[in-house]
Structures are given as structure tokens and as C-alpha cells.
Amino acid sequence: MDSDELTRAIISLTNLVSRLRGPGGCPWDAQQTDSSVGTYLIEEAYEVLDAIEKSSPTDVCQELGDLLFHIVFLAELAEERKEFDFVEVIENIKEKMIQRHPHVFGKTKVKNVKDVALNWAKIKRQEKGVLNESSSLLEDVPMNLPALLGSHRLLGRAAKAGFHRTNVRESWERVRSKFETLRSAVEEEDSDRFTGEIGDLLLSLVNLALGYGLNAEEILRRANRQFLERFEKMERILREGGIEPEKATPEQMEHAWKRVKTQEGQV
């Protein structure tokens, strides 16, 4: 990567955003706020994830650009309020990464990835200062994360804090136990109990995934994509048989769905 070219590219992008927001710029961009841009930021982050899952370098490059634009836009809004600018954003994250990698930029010795993770957590606590009695080891897990990802972060952080619940055998037994209590709630048609039990079961499944070193959010995203692909294949099969999907009966859909599974070698 050419440093001069990188510098020109960053300056060009920040200038572009300033022009969009400035006199004679775009009326729509001029009306945007932190809140509105934050919403688009989340959407763009998921677009990046979709591109990564599709293994499409072209799409990843495009979506990363969209995400970066919104980051620069938020920095521009802050600069207009004289709070900070994009340079500070870059410098702050650079210094933070140096501080959190003392095994790379300092004299700290680590034996494995686990040591790195433990050091990272310790440094984060030090950055926040001495914890008071009302603070929690989980307080910095954002509560506006997607629920499944939030569960992954909470349980993972709890495990790092010494609350070990990622033993695979124990986690599996907890899943089985929670499934049985959920079955009881369904049979009794107890909606209030059902809500609590299905929440506990979902948490138990996330914990089981953690035991295998997996992220339940990623697992479900993959399952969602697979379902979408199979549904689209089912629609093609129906159309090939002269049936429009919206007019197909449940039985016809089920038959086409089974054909898709058979083609994939699934039972």
C-alpha cells in the first residue's frame, strides 16, 4: 500500500463529506443527524457481513467503502460541533490497539491466544479505572446488540470472568433439561411460562455453541441464508412444474421442499 496514495484517498473522502454537508452541498446530507446516520451505519455493517458470507471480494470492497463513508460522516458531524475530528478517531484507535497489544509493542510475554484474551480483558478494566462496588464485569456489553449476539457476548464475558458455563457436556445436559421444561410449558399451554422457558433454552443453546468455540449469531445467520437459498430453489421447482409459488398449496410446497433437500443429499 502506497502511503501517499492512502493519504490522498482519506483526505479526498473527508473533503467530499464536508462538501456534501456544506453550502451548496446536498440538502439530504445536510439534514442528517448522529441518530439517522447511526441507523444506516448498522445496516451497512450487516451488508458487509452479507458480502463476507458470500465470499465476494468485489462486494466486500464495495460494502466496506459504504461503511467507511458513514464512519467519516459521523466524524464530520462531531467536527462541526467542535467535539472531535476523523484524525482523532484514527489516532485514538491506533493508541488503543498499541496499548492492548503489549505482547507486540511492549515487553509482555504470552504463550497462547488465551493469554492474549486475558491480557486484553485486564487492560480494558484498567482503562476504565478501579471498579466500584456497583460496577459489573458485564456492564460494557452493549445492550443494543442483536439479541443472539448479545447473549454470545454476555455468556462469553461471564466465562472469562470465571463464571465457567462452557463445559460442553454440562451445557448439553442443560439444553436437554430446558427443552423438557419447555415441552411441559407447551403441553400446559402456559404462555407466560413458555416465554421464560424458550428464553432460557435459547441462552442454553448459545452457551453450548460457546463450548465448541462457535458464535450462535453466525450459526443462525448461516442457517437463515441456507433457508433462503432452499426456499428460492423450492420456488423454482414449483414454477418448473407450472405452479406459481403464491398459489401453491402447503402440500405442494412441502413436496417441493423435500425435493430440494433430496437434491442436497439431505434427509
Please report the pLDDT score of residue 164 as a whole number. 64
Same domain, 69 and 151: no
Please report the pLDDT score of residue 131 as a whole number. 46
> For the domain that residue 91 is a member of, what is the CATH number?
1.10.287.1080
Same domain, 22 and 80: yes
Same domain, 89 and 14: yes
Please report the pLDDT score of residue 267 as a whole number. 58
Is the residue at 184 inside a domain?
A: yes
Please report the pLDDT score of residue 136 as a whole number. 65
Number of folded domains in the chain? 3
Domain range for 23 = 3-98
Same domain, 240 and 206: no
Residue 46, by phi and psi: left (phi above 0), alpha (psi -120 to 50) or beta? alpha
Same domain, 205 and 231: no
Contact (CB, 8 A) for 182 and 201 = yes
Please report the pLDDT score of residue 42 as a whole number. 86
Same domain, 207 and 232: no
Please report the pLDDT score of residue 153 as a whole number. 86
CA–CA distance, 150 with 152 (Å, rounded to integer): 5
**pLDDT < 70: residue spans in the chain:** 129-137, 139-140, 164-166, 266-267
Please report the pLDDT score of residue 135 as a whole number. 54
Is the residue at 111 inside a domain?
A: no
Please report the pLDDT score of residue 79 as a whole number. 96
Q: Tell me how far the alpha carbon of residue 151 is from its chain's centroid.
A: 11
Residue 131, all three cell numbers: 471498579
